[in-house]
């Protein structure tokens, strides 16, 4: 199914999952200056959306991503700060229940982000362990807006059936969903389900955000590249599991990249943009920001999209599904 949408201005979001994550991304506080430079380059290159979460940061570093982002925001002028939309995701842990379950987490995130919080997203669906909890927490967010806090509501890891119900649920409260993010890449599981989510978003003027568009960096990795000593043990394990099954796909990405004189990452990101998604790209270095920003300078051609779709369909392994994603 071909869905070519370059009708509106293309956007790319800056993802900050790696900021504070030791397990996947080998974070240490010695990286903070590099991350500061990454943030400033994103500002310079016109990025206008930054995504974080209250769970980002492993172990005792939980919340580190928000804290770093808040610190960096405090170092720039108010006029620059207003150019960004800052979105966080609040985790619906089983103990965050009732109509006030998100109140303290929201205030904590607001504090870590130095008062700059434009969108609050439900991080995942609770349908598999407490079907009513997510509605209680959406009530909670609606109440916070009614009490004077200025932010918009977003969702993450939501399937098409649940999304339709939540749109109706919030409409009854005179609230709307601003954005929905799901795993969306050339290696995504349930890609047809994700495209149904996207269709619902289009019908309801909801931004469709694509997280993990590079599949842990796998789609940006040369098919001839060996295990990288700079990658974490867990990421190298993932690469080893998927290396063989993704070779044809990554060769296709590389061929298109070489013909366009661009990076493999740009090709994989433009596959998302071609379909009208806003990819959320995890960036940790200034050089990565510069590279990804150039994705906005060119468009994928129809035949290139078809080649990528064909190579993707031949992959026998896709990325694992989020266990808390709803139908």
How many CA atoms lie within 13 Å of 301's alpha carbon, on the beta-carbon side?
Answer: 7
Residue 204, CA distances (Å) to 16, 179, 207, 258 in order: 27, 10, 9, 38
Instruction: Copy the structure tokens of residue 149.
Output: 């806090």
CA-to-CA dists, residue 305 to 132, 212, 256, 302, angstroms: 40, 19, 10, 5
The CB density around residue 219, as the number of other CB atoms within 10 Å, is: 25
SS3 280: strand
Structure tokens at 159: 């399937």
Helices (H) and strands (E) in the chain, counts: 13, 8
Return d(Cα 154, Cα 123) in angstroms, integer.
9
Cross-strand pairs, 280: 13, 211
The catalytic residue among 6, 27, 56, 129 is 56
Instruction: For residue 321, list its beta bridge partners.
Output: none
129 catalytic? Reply is: no
Termini Cα distance of the chain = 21
Tokens linked to 156: 């993450």
| CA distance linking residue 147 with residue 169, whole number of Å | 19
Do β-strands 177-183 and 207-211 pair in parallel, antiparallel, or remain unpaired?
parallel
Residue 323 CB neighbour total at 10 angstroms = 8
- Cite the active site residues: 56
């Amino acid at each position: 199914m071909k869905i070519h949408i370059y009708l509106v201005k293309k956007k790319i979001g800056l993802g900050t999952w790696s900021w504070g994550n030791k397990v996947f991304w080998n974070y240490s506080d010695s990286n903070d200056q590099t991350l500061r430079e990454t943030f400033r380059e994103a500002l310079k290159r016109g990025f206008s959306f930054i995504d974080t979460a209250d769970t980002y940061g492993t172990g005792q570093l939980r919340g580190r991503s928000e804290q770093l982002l808040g610190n960096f925001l405090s170092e720039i002028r108010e006029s620059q700060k207003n150019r960004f939309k800052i979105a966080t995701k609040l985790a619906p842990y089983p103990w965050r229940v009732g109509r006030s379950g998100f109140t303290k987490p929201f205030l904590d995130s607001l504090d870590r982000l130095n008062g700059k919080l434009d969108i609050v997203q439900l991080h995942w669906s609770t349908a598999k362990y407490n079907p009513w909890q997510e509605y209680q927490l959406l009530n909670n967010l609606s109440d916070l807006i009614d009490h004077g806090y200025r932010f918009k509501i977003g969702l993450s890891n939501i399937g098409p059936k649940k999304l339709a119900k939540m749109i109706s649920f919030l409409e009854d409260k005179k609230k709307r969903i601003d954005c929905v993010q799901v795993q969306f890449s050339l290696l995504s599981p349930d890609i047809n389900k994700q495209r149904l989510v996207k269709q619902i978003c289009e019908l309801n003027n909801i931004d469709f955000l694509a997280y993990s568009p590079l599949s842990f960096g796998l789609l940006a990795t040369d098919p001839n590249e060996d295990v990288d000593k700079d990658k974490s043990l867990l990421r190298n394990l993932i690469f080893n599991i998927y290396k063989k099954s993704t070779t044809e796909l990554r060769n296709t990405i590389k061929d298109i990249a070489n013909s366009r004189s661009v990076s493999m990452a740009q090709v994989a990101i433009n596959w998302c943009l071609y379909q009208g998604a806003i990819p959320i790209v995890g960036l940790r270095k200034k050089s990565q920001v510069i590279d990804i920003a150039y994705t906005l300078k060119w468009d994928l051609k129809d035949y290139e999209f078809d080649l990528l779709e064909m190579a993707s369909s031949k992959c026998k392994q896709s990325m694992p599904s989020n266990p808390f994603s709803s139908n």
